[in-house]
Structure 1
Amino acid sequence: MTEKDPRDLDKFDAKLKAARDRIEGRGEGSKKSSYNDSLVAVGYRMSIELVVGVCVGLGLGWLIDMQMGTRPWFMIGLMFLGMVAGIFNVVRLSKDVQRRMDKDKRD
């Protein structure tokens, strides 16, 4: 069997270390990638906030309507209340994201 050239192993080790650093967020260019990933996560959170607000309002309204026999009224009212709560949460979250982005630009 032939021995491997140590220089090839050193090159391989350097490439492996760079790949690990990139994955763990310590390498060059990782800040932009993690920044975009966090914005995607915020977008998902915003959409989930809206959907959950409407669903919780619909569910609570349906339960109250079943107990009281007032078919669609509480369901409709609490759906709109859940929608408003979801919108307020999205606005609050977007203000927080904007504040963090402004702080990152200043630093």
Structure 2
Amino acid sequence: MAEMIGGVLVGLGIGWGFDLFVGTAPWGMIVGTLSGFAVSIWLAVHSAKKLSARALKEFGPPRDLPDDADADDNDR
């Protein structure tokens, strides 16, 4: 969650600084915020892939669930 919020805030800050020096009023902040959001999404996906690979290495592949037919027979 911190990556998501941090990325957006950093992008907003960079866009604000760009607007301050160049004078392109809200466009720098808009582009910076959207870029920060995109980088945040990329970082979250990258972290999830890394954690998933580590869990697969540590625990092995997930086990299958039992068939639904077994559960349906008990309900009748």
* Same-fold status (TM-score > 0.5): yes
- Deviation string 1:13-61 (CA, Å, 9 cap, x unpaired) is xxxxxxxxxxxxxxxxxxxxxxxxxxxxxxxxxx111111100110010
Q: Which residue of 2 aligns with 1:73?
A: 27
Please list every run of 5 or more consecutive structure 2 residues that lacks an aligned counterpart in the other structure: 61-76
TM-score of the superposition, structure 2-length normalised? 0.74
Moved over 3 A (4+): none
Higher relative contact order (CA 8 A, sep 6+): 2
Structure 1 or 2, whichever has the larger Rg, is: 1
| Number of equivalences | 60
Please list every run of 5 or more consecutive structure 1 residues that lacks an aligned counterpart in the other structure: 1-46
- For the aligned residue pairs, the C-alpha RMSD in angstroms reads 0.8
Identity of aligned residues (%): 37
Q: Residue type matched to 2:53 in 1?
A: R
TM-score of the superposition, structure 1-length normalised? 0.54
